[in-house]
Chain A
Amino acid sequence: MLKSARMKRFSIIVLDKYLDLAIREIGEFGYAQIIDTDIEKFKIKRSARGELYDRILHILRRINNIINILNISKRELEPISLGIENKSSEEILKYVENEIKKIEDKILEKSSRLNELIKEEEDLRDDERILRILKVSNINHKYLNGSEFLYTVAGFISKENLNELKNRLKNKLDEKFAVITGDELNERILVVILCMRDMSNELDRIVSGVGFERFELKTKLSLREVEKKLDKIRREKEKIISYLDGIKSKYEQKILAMHELIEIEKNNQNIRFMLGRTKKGYVLEGWIPEEKIPEFENILRRVTRNSAIFKYYDPKDEEEVPTMMKNPSISRPFETLTKAFGTPGYDEIDPTTIMAISFPVIYGMMFGDIGHGFMIFLIGIIMAKLRPDSKDIKSLGIIMMYCGILSMFFGFAYGEFFGQHEFYDAFITKNLGIKSFWINPLHEPDKLLKVAFMIGFVQMSVGIILKFINFVMNKKILHAITGPLMQEWILVGGFLLIASKGLRFGEWFKDPMFLFLTLGIPLLGILFSDVIRHIPHGIKIGELPRLITSTLLELYEIPVGLLANSISYSRILALALVHIGLFTALFKIADIIRGIDGIGIVLWSLIVILGTIVLVCFEGFIVFLHTLRLHYYEWFTKFYSASGVEYMPYKIKRLYTYVRSKS
C-alpha cells in the first residue's frame, strides 16, 4: 500500500521463429516493461528495422484514408474477432491488405467523384451569389463574359468613389469604354465596365486605385441554369453520400478492428527495435513485478515451446527501477494526483493512500455544504462517465465524488444547505430532524481556525514521520535522528509553547527550562546535525567550524518554514468563510430583485440557480487547487522526493478486437 511493487530485471532469449508470438503474448499479458537490451553487455547487435515495418506504415496510411473517407470516428463498439488475432504478423498483414483492397475498390472512385462534385459546387455557389446580385442590380450577366474584342471588369464601388472612377476612365481610356451601373446595394453600387481588349491593362490599373471590389464570373450560364446544375450536383452528392454511409455501417466495425490490429503490429515492431540480435534468436530485457514472474514465465514457455531461456536479477543500486504503484482500488484514483507531482522512487513511501483520506477531508472542510457537496458529487459522476477512455479524467471524477461526499458531511457538521444556515434549519432540521453538530464557521471562526491548525499539525507530522521511516528503511539512522526527528520536535514543541504560553513571546522566556526543552534541544540538534552525521566517518577538529556553519541556514529555515506551513492551513477557515460569504452575497443580490412585481420571483429563481451553478463550479475548482497546494507544498515537501520512474509495461489495448482462442 505504502510501498511500490517489488521488481526484478529479466533477460530472456527467444528463438527467431517464436519472437512475433512472444512479443504479442507479452503485450497481451501486460505486466512486463521492455527496455533497450544492453547489447554491449551481451556483445550482440541491435535488432534491425525490417521491411515489415514499412509495409505496416503503408497499410496504416491506407486504412486511415478509408477512415477519413467514410468519416469513421472512434466510439464504443462491441469488440469482434476477425479470427486472425493469433496468426503471424505476415498472415495478419496479408489478410488486412486483402480486406482493405476490397473496401477501397468500393469507395475510392466514388470518393474522388464526390470531391469533384464538392469543388464544382463551391465554384457554382460563388457564381450563383454573383448572379443573384446581378439580378437584384438589374444587370444582364452576359455583360460579364466579355468577348474576343471586349474586356469586362465587374465589381462593387462605394457611391463616393463612383464619380472618381468615371473621371479616371474618361481621362485614361479616351471615352472608349462603357459603364453599366446597377442599383444601390448596402451603400455600394455594382458596376460593370467594358472596354476594348487592348486596353485591358490600363483598365486594370484604373480599378485597382479607387477602392474597387472586383469579382469574376467563372460560368457562362444564367442564374436559372446554375440553380438547375446545383440541384443536379446536390442529388448526385446525396446518392454518393448515402452509398458511402451504407458501406460505413457495413464495414465500420471491421475497419476499426483492422486498424487496431495493424496498430498492435506496429507497436510489436517497435518493441523489436529495442531487442538484441544473436545468431539464432533475440535477447529481450526489461522489468517485471516479482509476483507476476510465474505467470509470465508460463506464458512464454508455452508460446516458445519451452525453448526460451530466462534469467532474473535483483535491482542494483545504480539502476533506475520503474515504480509500479500498488494501492487499494478505493484510493487508486489519487495516483493521478501523486503522479502529477512526480512518480515515487522505487524505495520511497507512496503517499497516495494517505492522501485519499486527507484530500477529501480538507476539501470537505473548505466546501462544507450539503447541497453544494451533492452538486460536486454529481459533477464527479459526470466527469467519470464523460470520458471512460481517459484514465486521468475518470480518476479526477472519482476524486470529485469523494470530495462531494465529504463536503456533504461537513455541510451537516456546519449546518449549511445551499449556502444558507436558515435553509438548513428549514429543510434538514425540520424535515429530517438532524441538527448541525459541529462548528459554525461564520459565528465561531476562532474554533475552526484552531481545528485548521490541528489538521496542519497532524498532516505535517505524518509527512515528517514518513521521512523518518524513509531514512530508517534506507539505513540512514543518523540522518533520521538529526533531520525529521528534530523537525518533529520543533513542530510539537512549538505547538506546546503556543498552547501553553500563547503568542506573546515575552511569556516564553519567563520559563527558560520549558523553552529549552521544546525548542532549544531540537535547534541544537539541527545545528550539530552535520557533525553527528560525520561521527561514523571520523571528524578532524579543523573540520568542526565548517560542519557547524553549514547548518546555520537550516537553523533559521526549518523553524520559520514550519511556522509558515502551519499558518498556511488557516486557508481552511478562509475558504470556508469565503464559501459562505459568496452565497450570502448571491442571495442578497437576488433578494433585491425579488421585490419587482410580477417577474420578481422568476428573476430571483433564475439568479439563484444560475449563480449557484457558476459559484459551485468556480469555487469548487478554487478549493480543489488550494487542497492540492496544501498537499503538494505543505505536505509532500516534508518527505516526498518524487524521484521515481514510471512503470510502463508493454500492454496491448484492445477496444475493437478480442482474441478468440490462445491455443
Chain B
Amino acid sequence: MVEPLALVGAGIAVGFAALGGGVGIGLAGAASIGAIAEKPEVFSKSLIYVAFAEACAIYGLLIAILILFGVAG
C-alpha cells in the first residue's frame, strides 16, 4: 500500500520535472527551429539540445516510479 504522502511526492516529482522540461524544450526547440531554418543539416544536432531539457522530465518520472513502486526498496 502506497502512503498518501508518497503519492503527493510522486505527483510533485513528475509535475515539476515536466514543467521544467516543458520550459526547457520550448526555449531549446524554438532556437533549434531557427538554426534548422538557416542550416538544415544541424537538425540531428539540435535534437540533442532539446534532449538535454527533456531528460529532466524523465528524471522526475523515474523518481515518481521509484516512489510509487518502491523500486528503491
Contacts and interface: CB of A to CB of B under 8 A. Distances in A.
The answer to whether A and B belong to the same complex is yes
Interface of A: 340-342, 445-446, 449, 502-503, 564, 567-568, 570-571, 573-574, 628-629, 632-633, 637
A63 to B, nearest CB: 30
B16 interface: no
29 contacts: A340-B44, A341-B44, A341-B45, A342-B44, A445-B65, A445-B69, A446-B71, A449-B65, A449-B71, A503-B73, A564-B55, A567-B55, A567-B58, A567-B59, A567-B62, A568-B55, A568-B58, A570-B61, A570-B62, A570-B65, A574-B58, A628-B47, A629-B47, A632-B44, A632-B48, A632-B51, A633-B48, A633-B51, A637-B48
State the majority secondary structure of interface residues on A. Answer: helix
A273 B43 CA distance: 32
A571 B55 CA distance: 9
The 3 closest A-B pairs by CB, nearest first: A341-B44, A570-B62, A633-B51
Interface in B8-53: 41, 43-45, 47-48, 51
Nearest to A577: B65
Interface of B: 41, 43-45, 47-48, 51, 54-55, 58-59, 61-62, 65, 69, 71-73
Contact of A632 (B47, B59, B72): B47
A505 to B, nearest CB: 12
A445 B66 CA distance: 10
A564 B43 CA distance: 23
B71 A574 contact: no
A340 B48 CA distance: 13
A422 B69 CA distance: 23
A94 B59 CA distance: 69
Contact of A574 (B45, B51, B61): B61
Contacts of A573: 65
Nearest to B52: A633
Contacts of A628: 47
A574 B61 CA distance: 8
A340 B59 CA distance: 27
A340 B55 CA distance: 22
B21 to A, nearest CB: 12
B69 to A, nearest CB: 5
B6 to A, nearest CB: 15
A77 to B, nearest CB: 32
B72 to A, nearest CB: 5
A625 to B, nearest CB: 8
A571 B54 CA distance: 11
Contacts of B65: 445, 449, 570, 573-574
A89 B58 CA distance: 62
A443 B65 CA distance: 12
B43 to A, nearest CB: 7
A571 B47 contact: no
Contacts of A446: 69, 71
B47 to A, nearest CB: 6
B62 A629 contact: no
A85 to B, nearest CB: 35
Contact of A570 (B41, B51, B58): B58
A564 B56 CA distance: 10
Contacts of B54: 629
